[in-house]
Structure 1
């Protein structure tokens, strides 16, 4: 934000005297209409010493007052004061005397010059007022579409990743099941072999005992004992146990064919790129409005008029948002949002926040639903008196919210540590479309720290933010580029520092902001030029809104005041 002192210095320097283009020191009292040079009286003689040109030096105040006639291409010493319309060239007296343009339509060159200037002025006005703003809108539209594409392709990549993760989970589950089957087969076969091994070990123990018995019989000299010894070799031990032959299962993976995998995994449609020559229309300007468009041009009243006011039930009224020309939502220092009838001055409805907190800000959608921000990091919408959480933030706290003409939400939010502030555009759901935080040089567009900020979309689609921490109204275009910062106008009604609070706009694209320090409302045009103060008995004004008839509603202390300020 530009410092007000710096701005004052800039204005002063802009009004400084014009210096001589030759010596760069003395003030310019003269001007050469031929060379377009500013000259001091001392440098005039030096300048006209160049005889290659016919210098026309006049007083500085009379610069460009004497026409510089073109030199004739045929007669180099003659000046052309006539114009041949048939040949479309300037002509001099000598050309006419030689009858070179006999029978042609001639006109004084100054008259032709005036006609040419009129044409150029019309073209310049059309370029400035219609064509260039249209191209600005087209550029903004393209930039917004680029942001949308980033988000859409991001969503597409996320969907593909999620699908891949689903496949990984399914494959993991299948692999786990297959490995469990392998383990079961292994355990069954191991149990079979273990049983077989136990039987063989038993036989081996018996054979060992048989060996010991035979050896004892051999060593004895007891003939009767020797003859009584009988062995089981023939009938038992020579009949060897059957061999158990096991085979392990083989893993035979299916061949992964890229084409088949692509068919199973891919469901991606083709992208397209087309052009629509009827996709854009020429921007409607203020001048075209004056020429008779559907939105009439309204003039500011000399003195705003109070139509009515309501003494609300709030201890302090902070925010207002028009539901219709007769119904207005309000919020203040309590956890209820209240709908009032303007004509009856009565309470129609009251909605309590889910969290029990005061709402930070309120707005109304195109379809007439109430939206509010809450300190619990949520943006909520009220439909049929039921509250739904639309947006829940992490590490950011939403403060102000506005509903745009296209149905988007604009949300101002602060980081938990209060060091960052940004504006995020949502498409009416949880999907971000645009984040606006820095200017072209990477510097923050808004002040840091928790403070009072409000946001509104202007009729020309600019985004207007009252930034109390910066003592400024920050206006950015649809693409997020800074247009201007308004830092107040002096003398203010009470000459205190500009302290913007609530902000709203009207059918004329005027920007209105409440100045709580100076107990007034500032009206500026869409280019940031100060137009008027409204200071008719307002005390600490905060919330602002306008209805479809450009009536202004102001929240100040506990009162809701309706004002008429346009004809």
Structure 2
């Protein structure tokens, strides 16, 4: 037996005897590699019949396509560079010289396999999602009558309430008017009675005087006492002013405000979710939690207080503390770059974009700023809202937590560039997802499954919604030991395992949750006042300790599967 044909060795080309064979000429009964196919086909004295070596022994003859350029020829090869099937004449023409050639049937098999995979993905994943979206719209349309009916009923009820209130006010005003009228009339009657009495007395006196003068009776004249001085002082005249009614002029705007407000119809067309390919959907390598997390580096930042850390690379981190300077440091604490905020204000939070640029929020002038090549550009300026914490997403969007100027509303906003594309504020029942109040930290992070995770310090909870903003769960901490304080979440981050990590400031530890909010484990590592968190691309955890102003790098996942 020929040594090259031994079952223990790779079968080599009959021509070059160096490269493994892939094809077979049925006419010449010769085996050869891809590189030698062209040489063999250059012999035009024979009508060679090339098949894949793996096809030998099969009964079905390969169905090669006809060559569109050379009549009577079949395309038995595929030019990888031109991505077209070619025949022996095409190869010998020199147009495909030095091009990589492959067996046509092998190429066809690969394409058929890909078509099968595409069909499977379309049928099992993509088409059902479209059907689900269409069903959701039908459901939403079916609920419109009920939802808008409730609004109409509420408007009618409010109108009835206002009508009742106005009627009550009118009746009360009319009652007061009648009381004042009665009092006015009573006062006038009393005054009239007094004057009438005086008039009666005057008439009597006048009559008496006339009688005395007509009688010439000396005794009557002598006994007469004059009362003129008494009546010269007229009785008091009561001055009563009829009340006036001052109608308050109420404009349409005031009436609308009194009636109650109706929020505007908000129509946000969000970017459609991009479904990951079957390859991308596959889970990342499993990295189990270490039994004992390890502190691998400590960085002294130089701040008196430290608030944020964000990873530029495995050994370079951006930090910000209690001044207007943001510093880029390596693991040894060496200062690599310093950036002062554009306004001179202390930044509220910092993050690194997928392109490696720094972004920061300015609480005082309500701006979001991008640092590129050490140049600062304000990309977003808010009105009526103040930005707090920020993170960059897998799609290079920005997620920003913000509060209204009256401290009564809190929301999460997604920006693509400087354009607002999503606002997350309420759950399905219209209740606020997040707590409110002056200066409440709400650090934010996007999980690998595209959930949006917020550490709501004011509510002592981690609040998680999905990519569309629909509420998923709320985690309120664990209290295994009696001396533990209440859950005090501050910084938050996620890793390649879709695990959520949040800093528990008062208890000096990190909580690790799975993507569904189930508690997994604590990280201690002698942490003190942990505040800001970030995980780098290799799942190293960076912890910013507020009061020590140190950044601690911690390995908490196993590097082996």
TM-score for the superposition, normalised by structure 1:
0.50
Counterpart position of 1:369? 357
Q: Cα offset for 1:444?
A: 0.1
Q: Cα offset for 1:536?
A: 1.5
Does residue 561 (structure 1) correspond to residue 549 (structure 2)? The answer is no
Does residue 437 (structure 1) correspond to residue 425 (structure 2)? The answer is yes
Distance 1:411 1:419 in 2: 17
Counterpart position of 2:348? 360
C-alpha contact (below 8 Å) 1:325/1:548 kept by paired residues = yes
Distance 1:136 1:526 in 2: 25
- Shift in CA distance, 395/283, structure 1 to aligned 2, threshold 3 Å: farther
- The number of aligned residues is 297
Q: Cα offset for 1:504?
A: 0.4
Distance 1:466 1:323 in 2: 22
Does residue 347 (structure 1) correspond to residue 335 (structure 2)? The answer is yes
Q: Cα offset for 1:282?
A: 6.5
Equivalences for residues 103-114 of structure 1 within 5 A? none
Distance 1:455 1:309 in 2: 24
Does residue 545 (structure 1) correspond to residue 534 (structure 2)? The answer is yes
Equivalences for residues 155-170 of structure 1 within 5 A? none
Distance 1:338 1:477 in 2: 33
Counterpart position of 1:507? 496
- Shift in CA distance, 280/387, structure 1 to aligned 2, threshold 3 Å: closer
Q: Cα offset for 1:345?
A: 2.6
Equivalences for residues 32-181 of structure 1 within 5 A? 135=129
- Select which of 491, 495, 505 maps to 1:516: 505
The C-alpha deviation readout for 1:293-321, integer Å capped at 9, x for no partner, is xx200000011100010111100110000
Distance 1:510 1:446 in 2: 21
Counterpart position of 2:43? none
Counterpart position of 1:305? 294
The C-alpha deviation readout for 1:366-399, integer Å capped at 9, x for no partner, is 1000000001100000011011001000011000
- Shift in CA distance, 313/139, structure 1 to aligned 2, threshold 3 Å: farther
C-alpha contact (below 8 Å) 1:468/1:501 kept by paired residues = yes
Q: Cα offset for 1:506?
A: 0.4
Equivalences for residues 124-523 of structure 1 within 5 A? 135=129, 280=275, 288-289=282-283, 295-342=284-331, 344-375=332-363, 376-429=365-418, 431-449=419-437, 450-491=439-480, 494-523=483-512
SS in 1 for 2:342: coil
SS in 1 for 2:455: strand
Counterpart position of 1:535? 524
Q: Cα offset for 1:492?
A: 5.6
4+ long deviations beyond 3 Å? 134-140, 278-286
CA RMSD in angstroms, aligned pairs only:
2.8
SS in 2 for 1:469: helix
- Shift in CA distance, 304/452, structure 1 to aligned 2, threshold 3 Å: same
- Shift in CA distance, 537/280, structure 1 to aligned 2, threshold 3 Å: closer
